Amino acid sequence: MDAQTITRRVLVVMLLAGFGATAGRAQVPTNNLTLWLDATSLSYLSDGANVSVWSNKSTFVPHNMNQGTTGFQPTFQTGVVLGNPAVRFDGIDDYLQSGSQMLSNFITAAEYTMFSVFNTVAISTTNLTQPWRNDGIVTDSSGFIGQLLQGTNVIAYNWDGNADQVGVPVTTGKWTLAYSRHSGGSLFLRTNNGSDQQSTLSGSTTSLTPWTLRVGSGNTANNAFLDGDVAEVLIYNAVLSPSDESTVQEYLFAKYGVPEPSVVTLLVATAFLLLRRRHSR
């Protein structure tokens, strides 16, 4: 580990401690929150243990993500991102699904919002022309909606009478916060603190076919499995207000340090924190 990385991590820890563990205090908006997967809720498991159930923290739609086949179960990994755990998918056959609960339990046809915090080791490049056949982060079981990895991009995909999609470059081996939404018949996607990228306007409503929701895989018939870790996923069956959207992003940044801040940014923020604490005495 190089000196810059060590410095960055020390400063992040100082900031989180100085602000009183912002992630612990954050009030994530729960109105219309249908899926909230947080790897810290699996902390009762030992490092490397199989995950058969990832509990949904949402009380709005309290349906968990499950995997009853041992060989298809991802594993729980401790301390992989700013001391937080994650769920690791092997890129071969691991995935979790909503069982008998259909996609329509989680999103509305007209609009929805998704957040995910993930780190991919490698991205399959065998299906570059058909997004639904690529590595799924969170999608339905046939790949009609969701966030996937394609070539060198993370993409948002939505079938609403047309194959509506938008992609943003992603770096393997680095933690990424992906935000996407469907509204007004169009898709929007951004990663970390980037700006929204908008797809070409197509149909106005999502095709809510009778598929289940999945994490770690898209269309399993095409080996569309995620090779990497997922720390947290939030899905809302609505478009968030700017204030609520900002609250979720700030919560995820404080918890996972994504986007990864520069040393200069952290030094300025730490100096501001120390000055504020000094004047508050």
End-to-end Cα spacing for the chain = 37
How far apart are the C-alpha atoms of 93 and 220, rounded to whole Å? 8
**What are 17-42's pLDDT values in tens digits?**
444 444 444 589 999 999 999 999 99
pLDDT above 70: residue 85: yes
Fill in the DSSP letter of residue 110. Answer: S
**Cβ contact 23:255 at 8 Å:** yes
pLDDT above 80: residue 105: yes
Q: Provide the pLDDT confidence category of residue 101 given band limits of 50, 70 and 90.
A: confident
pLDDT above 90: residue 119: yes
How far apart are the C-alpha atoms of 188 and 190, rounded to whole Å? 7
Mean pLDDT of all residues in 107-125: 91
Q: Provide the pLDDT confidence category of residue 131 given band limits of 50, 70 and 90.
A: low
- Calculate what percentage of the chain has a pLDDT beyond 90: 56
Q: Report the pLDDT value the prediction gives residue 274, as an integer from 0 to 100.
A: 56
**What are 141-187's pLDDT values in tens digits?**
877 899 999 888 999 999 887 888 899 999 999 999 999 999 888 89
On whether residue 117 sits in a domain, the answer given is: yes
**What are 230-246's pLDDT values in tens digits?**
999 999 999 999 999 99
Pairing mode, if any, of strands 227-236 and 197-198? unpaired
The lowest-confidence range among 31-35, 60-64, 112-116, 258-262 is 258-262
Domain count, the chain: 1
Tokens read off for 221? 């018939």
CA dihedral sign, ordered 151, 89, 6, 277:
positive
On whether residue 84 sits in a domain, the answer given is: yes
Q: What percent of the chain is helix, strand and coil (3-state, nearest 5)?
A: 25, 35, 40
SS3 271: helix
Q: Report the pLDDT value the prediction gives residue 220, as an integer from 0 to 100.
A: 62
pLDDT above 90: residue 226: yes
Higher pLDDT, 271 or 269: 271
How far apart are the C-alpha atoms of 229 and 79, rounded to whole Å? 12
What CATH number corresponds to the domain at position 75? 2.60.120.200
Kindly give, in sequence order, each residue whose CB lies less than 8 Å from that of residue 243, ignoring residues fewer than 6 positions away. none
On whether residue 252 sits in a domain, the answer given is: no
On whether residue 8 sits in a domain, the answer given is: no
On whether residue 60 sits in a domain, the answer given is: yes
**What are 243-252's pLDDT values in tens digits?**
999 999 999 9
Higher pLDDT, 201 or 225: 225
SS3 163: strand
On whether residue 256 sits in a domain, the answer given is: no
Mean pLDDT of all residues in 93-122: 92
Q: Report the pLDDT value the prediction gives residue 207, as an integer from 0 to 100.
A: 81
Mean pLDDT of all residues in 113-131: 83
On whether residue 9 sits in a domain, the answer given is: no
**What are 36-77's pLDDT values in tens digits?**
999 999 999 999 999 999 999 998 888 999 999 999 999 999
Tokens read off for 235? 């899905």
Tokens read off for 134? 């690529």
How far apart are the C-alpha atoms of 79 and 77, rounded to whole Å? 7
Domain range enclosing 204: 30-239
Higher pLDDT, 261 or 96: 96
Mean pLDDT of all residues in 102-111: 90
On whether residue 276 sits in a domain, the answer given is: no
User: Distance of alpha carbon 210 from its chain centroid, rounded?
Assistant: 23
Closest CA to 14 of 267, 192, 252: 267
